[in-house]
Structure 1
Amino acid sequence: MTGAPPRGVARRSVLRGALAGGAALATGGLLGACGVRQDAPRIATDDRWRQFAGATINLISENTAPTAAIAANLRPFTDLTGINVNIVTLELSALVQKVALDLAGGESQYHVIYADPYQVLAPYSKGLVDLRELATQPGLPEFTGWDDFIPTQLDAAGRFGDRDKIFAVPYDCPTMIWQYRADLFDKYGARMADDLGFDPTPGLDRTWDEYLRIARWFNDNADEVAYGTGHQAKQHDSLMCDFSNVLWSYGGDYFDNGTEVGLYGTTDPGPCRLGSDQAIAAAEFYQRLLSIADPSSKTWDWNGLAPALSSGRIAMCVNWHEYAAANEKAMPGRFGYAPLPRGPVRSANHYGGCGIGINGNTQPNERMAAWLFVLWATSTQTQLANLKSEAGGGTPTRQSVYDLPEVRAAEHRPSAMPNILAAPAVVTAWQPENIGLRPKIPMWNECDTAVYTQLSKMLAGDSSPADTMRGAATKIDRITARGWAA
């Protein structure tokens, strides 16, 4: 979304930083011509990591924090394996097009694929390798780490349909949480509590209605900020992401069995449920919330919203957690992070993470070489290095990284790993009862467009919440009725 320069600073912006360690990076295609396909060489050696020394593998990725960090420091992988890596970075829509062509054409120009769950994994899982087969293949380094990945992330980013297969390893994990000016909450907390009649401290005890009241209080009483809240409500995927947190918290969803569809995916989700009373109530609340938010919210996606918070324009917002690094750079020590407020049913925190998988068209040796890269790129050691990287950042998808003493220490200021300051909030957000998962279906991209288009009409005053939700449901039913043939 799934979801963070990188996602830790700007969720989908261009990679920066020098590339080191033999990485070759292109923005549209690989360096050199493809030529006749030949399998990678394999060397007789007792070192399981170096049996494909001299091979070259190609990674295609969206511009994300882990890829930025890995591209800037590939030398450890090259030294370990002798394998060269080319990295192609693209915006997600362009990546999807190239991956679709590569898989459909029987090619393997890209060996390792950034597998967005909704635009790559769901429609093209049949073209990806079941990674469990490589994890148990004799002659390769032993892998026993499935249980180390955050369980909800492994399901949401790695599986589609068949729960026994894993097509991608969790690679990044942007998640929407409550980000706020802790210094202003400290300054005004007692006064807000007296005026509002409740403790305004952000967290799971707060409700969305209380969030709105806190935002309105800042509008009326605090000179330090222009508005209490801002939102990523541009006519864009960001609007669907922002609204979905409220939808799920109200007990609404896009389809029946929404959690199952979000975790495991399906090609036939059944009727859209956006016309339900719960979904309409969520839309009514969202309309009220946006009416008191910064008016520029309707022009912002996540990259527009983030600087509004970090520059001091708004007191709080809902955004991807990996913007913590940018917040801390702009105004060190002034921010706090918490799970999102509750609706009538629960707190729901939108997960936007993705995995990396392997092209099913790869030949035997290059497939194993690609697996070595996947192992290394998602290892505890590499995720820790990414967390510390100035070129990237990101946050880990393995529990073992969060358990390291130096990472636990970094959860408190002063922190050399500013994104980890959001760890307590996101660890709570990833719990099964709190995670928010959009539908993992092959046709989701079209459905997404239908949702944010209808919501934009509502926010412009051209449609009521009820008509908005029912209209979106009708459009989605037409999309899903066409089915999917990959």
Structure 2
Amino acid sequence: MDRHPPEPSRRDVLRRALAAGAALTLSGSLSACGSREDSPRAAVGDRWRQFQGATLNFISENTAPTAAIAANVRPFTELTGIDVRIVTLELTALVQRVALDLASGRAQYQVIYADPYQVLAPYQRGLVDLRTLQADPNLPDLPGGTADFIPVQMDAAGRFVDRNAFYALPYDAPTMIWQYRQDLFAKYHERMAHDLGFDPTPSGDRTWEEYFRIAQWFNEHAKSDVRYGTGHQARQHDSLMNDFSNVLWSYGGEYFDHGKEVGRLGSRDPGPCRLDSAAAIAGTEFYQRLLGIADPASKTWDWDGLGAAFRAGRLAMCPNWHEFAAGNEQVLPGKVGYSPLPRGPAGTANMYGGTGVGISANTLPHERGAAWLFIVWATSPATQLANLRSKAGGGTPTRTSVYELPEVRAAEKRPSAMPNMLTAAAVRQAWQPDRIGLRPKIPMWNECNTAIFTQLSRMLSGEASPEETMRSTKSRVDQIVARGWVA
């Protein structure tokens, strides 16, 4: 039986800090708010200029769209007269900073990169319901409304429990897909097809068992070109949970009952963990086998390490976030192909890692209006198109209308000035409601995630069988969920 120390973790301390501040902060009666001045508001006819002279602080993970916006935020300042200061942090540090800021009652950061699982779900009450700003006639409209955002992303990144309210606008959309050396698959196609007895061309119709056999074939027959057929982000880290989940779901395993609903809209009480089901154990057994023939260094890699190994020519293929396409095209131009991930007995699942941008509920009225201007601009079709063109970042649009632009459609084929668009055919399939992989959006997910990748790492080190791993993980997750969330 696992034993866990009784002393509170740093996460527990942060949760209690938020809980202590929540009753004051979110009631609107916090005295600290009265002790600071709101942003200025000018009586001008231009709704974009009414908060000129204001300063906004935007806290974000260091992502492609934020890099692009940071490199070219001047158009927003010229449009509005608002100065934007951008702070970028690693996600864990960002979550800690946001939790403390929300508990303080003072909005040091008016605009927040609201990761659905580590910010939106646990701290939803600390974010503004953006319907109030969308409905304000004194503020600019949201171009295309919420309907222009890809529907599954609008729900996953923007909503929590309530189907009508939304607390963030979809901002980025990294999604795990099958990335492969197109040149090597072409070179060996006939030999592989003869030896394997099926067409090895990557697609969403290939199975995970076929993926395994393709990887094994490269291991045995193509050492002059690549060292290993496949690699994975299997370090004891969030990346391991992501990599594993694609297989889990495709085998019919779920973290909780009603998995798609809990992933898409979220839940405060998801019920018992279902990782001890026969389907979950079968998926885990396959994952252990797959890692047994993968590059052994996989156990030391997160997504960045895996991406670097793939670009270095070490691997024939791997599952990784689609936005690595920009780097692939710089190092291996024209040599990489992209496909949805393989399917299992229950279908296919492609892990979604997108995030929205929201506004702190600690903001004062004019600050809140200025922050609305920024998130409308940052997620607008024009800005998303500019991000696609950016040399500093890239990102991937979260709006349907951007994908329909002629120049964006043209960029889906080589030569492409927008290399992330080379993945468009794959991610369009991956974002279908029956194909997207959505981890549970629950307030206590961060702790559950740690339990999952810790136990999986033990299995990959030979310390536990797949069945033992799933049963011990279920037990630990049930303890976490039963304890609940105090905010």
2: CA distance, partners of 1:35 / 1:458: 54
2: CA distance, partners of 1:384 / 1:189: 37
* Runs of 4+ residues over 3 Å off in structure 1: none
**Structure 1 length as normaliser, TM-score?**
0.92
SS of 1:107's partner is: coil
2:443 maps to which residue?
442
SS of 1:51's partner is: coil
1:232 maps to which residue?
233
Alignment of 1:41-440 (within 5 A): 41-143=40-142, 144-222=144-222, 223-440=224-441
2:483 maps to which residue?
482
User: CA offset at residue 331 of structure 1?
Assistant: 1.1
1: CA distance, partners of 2:478 / 2:111: 34
SS of 2:344's partner is: coil
User: CA offset at residue 127 of structure 1?
Assistant: 0.8
2: CA distance, partners of 1:476 / 1:214: 35
Structure 1 segments unaligned to the other structure (5+ residues): 1-33
Task: Name the amino acid aligned to 1:276.
Answer: S
User: CA offset at residue 145 of structure 1?
Assistant: 2.1
1: CA distance, partners of 2:356 / 2:125: 16
Give the share of equivalent positions with the same residue, in percent: 71
User: CA offset at residue 310 of structure 1?
Assistant: 1.0
Which region of structure 1 is more displaced relative to structure 2, 102-111 or 405-414?
102-111
Task: Name the amino acid aligned to 2:164.
Answer: D
Q: Deviations over 1:294-320 (max 9, x none)?
A: 010011110110011111100000000
Q: Per the alignment, do residues 167 and 35 of structure 1 end up closer, same or farther by CA in structure 2, a change over 3 Å counting?
A: closer
1: CA distance, partners of 2:34 / 2:228: 58
Task: Name the amino acid aligned to 1:146.
Answer: T
2: CA distance, partners of 1:35 / 1:273: 48
2: CA distance, partners of 1:453 / 1:205: 32
Task: Name the amino acid aligned to 2:125.
Answer: K
SS of 1:171's partner is: strand
User: CA offset at residue 93 of structure 1?
Assistant: 1.2
1: CA distance, partners of 2:138 / 2:34: 29
2: CA distance, partners of 1:466 / 1:183: 39
Alignment of 1:19-34 (within 5 A): none
Task: Name the amino acid aligned to 1:289.
Answer: L
2: CA distance, partners of 1:99 / 1:452: 24
Task: Name the amino acid aligned to 1:287.
Answer: Q
SS of 2:347's partner is: coil
1: CA distance, partners of 2:88 / 2:74: 19
SS of 2:318's partner is: strand
2: CA distance, partners of 1:384 / 1:190: 40
2: CA distance, partners of 1:355 / 1:142: 18
Task: Name the amino acid aligned to 1:214.
Answer: I
2: CA distance, partners of 1:160 / 1:226: 44
User: CA offset at residue 46 of structure 1?
Assistant: 1.0
1:451 and 2:452 are equivalent in the alignment: yes
Task: Name the amino acid aligned to 1:167.
Answer: Y
1: CA distance, partners of 2:251 / 2:230: 20
2: CA distance, partners of 1:453 / 1:303: 19
User: CA offset at residue 447 of structure 1?
Assistant: 0.5
1: CA distance, partners of 2:90 / 2:304: 14
Task: Name the amino acid aligned to 1:87.
Answer: I
User: CA offset at residue 36 of structure 1?
Assistant: 5.2
Task: Name the amino acid aligned to 1:290.
Answer: L
Task: Name the amino acid aligned to 2:220.
Answer: D
2: CA distance, partners of 1:380 / 1:138: 21
**Size of the alignment, in residue pairs?**
453
1: CA distance, partners of 2:367 / 2:416: 40
2: CA distance, partners of 1:198 / 1:278: 26
Q: Deviations over 1:369-409 (max 9, x none)?
A: 00000000000000011111111111111111111100100
User: CA offset at residue 142 of structure 1?
Assistant: 2.0
1: CA distance, partners of 2:442 / 2:457: 23
2: CA distance, partners of 1:258 / 1:465: 21
1:5 maps to which residue?
none
Cα RMSD (Å): 1.1
Task: Name the amino acid aligned to 1:334.
Answer: K
User: CA offset at residue 35 of structure 1?
Assistant: 12
2: CA distance, partners of 1:437 / 1:343: 16
